[in-house]
Amino acid sequence: MEYKYISQNETDTEELAENLESEHFPNMVICLNGELGSGKTLFTKAFASALGIEETITSPTFNIIKEYPNGELPLYHMDVYRIENNIEELGIDEYFDKGGVTIIEWADMIENYLPKERLDIYFKVTGEESRCLVITPHGKKYEDICEAIL
């Protein structure tokens, strides 16, 4: 099942992230996809803030993985846009079981390595500030979250 969420502006995207954060649980995986500038990092910043992380969140494009351990749960923020080969060597799958929340930007580029149970969010630019977010839950926990907040 897919859900659609229309974001008229950045505030709407931030509110969605905050609502999802309110339902967080250990080993939660959120996969973000969409073109450059569509709101993936904005979403992550709002989620991190709601999680109680006070550090500045930036896209980990050149680091691939940034860890933020000082929130209600640790946040593992990944940007896999620049991954070419040797994904196994990065140990990305190890983060899925570390008890935190993993948010992956450009997750479709590593689809074969993603856990079966996760939340996929596709950001589609529909206007200067507006976005259509297509949210696809994989697994009962994620379906329940979508039912609770959407």
List the domain boundaries for the chain: 3-149
The residue with tokens 């976005």 is 131
What pTM value is reported for the model?
Answer: 0.95
Q: Please check whether the domain covering 3-149 is classified as CATH 3.40.50.300.
A: yes
Residue of 5, 42, 32 whose CA lies nearest to 119: 32
Give the pLDDT of residue 84: 67
Give the pLDDT of residue 19: 97
Residue of 132, 127, 106 whose CA lies nearest to 36: 106
Handedness of CA 92, 95, 41, 58 (dihedral sign): negative
pLDDT values of the chain reduced to their tens digit, one per residue, 150 residues: 999 999 999 999 999 999 999 999 999 999 999 999 999 999 999 999 999 999 999 877 677 899 999 999 999 999 998 776 667 777 888 999 999 999 999 999 999 999 999 999 999 999 999 999 999 999 999 999 999 999
Give the pLDDT of residue 85: 64
Give the pLDDT of residue 58: 84
